């Protein structure tokens, strides 16, 4: 492999890594369809593993001196998963925090 070929391979690798970083930062989450924001705590659906902001679900986020384990429900099921298991009525008649997610 020539020095030019090595240089091209190196540039290609750097570009692939840059694209992966850009894709990761462009991911959207939650009901609000926003990218990750470290200032807004999130919890994961225990069924589909999608991520949701506490405030978007109607749940109280952990305080400065609290851990997620202290405030998160024992099991969280997002609205999409609630619909899939036939609990759509409960979702549309209640806030997300009191829908089928609390088990």
Residue 87 lies in a domain: yes
Residue by residue, pLDDT tens for the chain (103 residues) are 788 888 888 888 888 888 887 777 678 889 898 888 889 999 999 999 999 999 888 888 888 888 877 888 888 888 888 888 876 544 444 454 444 444 4
Residue 61 lies in a domain: yes
- Cα separation of 85 and 83, whole Å? 5
List the CATH number of the domain containing 48: 3.30.40.10
Residue 2 lies in a domain: no
Residue 20 lies in a domain: no
Per-residue confidence (pLDDT) for residue 88, from 0 to 100: 54
Q: pTM of this prediction?
A: 0.61
Residue 36 lies in a domain: yes
């Amino acid at each position: 492999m020539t020095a030019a070929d090595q240089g091209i391979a190196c540039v290609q690798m750097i570009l692939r890594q840059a694209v992966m970083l850009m894709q990761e930062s462009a991911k959207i989450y939650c009901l609000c369809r926003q990218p990750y924001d470290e200032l807004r705590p999130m919890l994961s659906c225990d069924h589909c593993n999608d991520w949701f902001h506490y405030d978007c679900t109607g749940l109280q986020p952990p305080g400065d001196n609290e851990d997620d384990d202290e405030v998160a429900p024992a099991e969280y099921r997002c609205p999409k998963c609630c619909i899939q298991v036939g609990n759509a009525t409960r979702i549309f008649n209640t806030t997300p925090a009191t829908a089928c997610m609390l088990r």
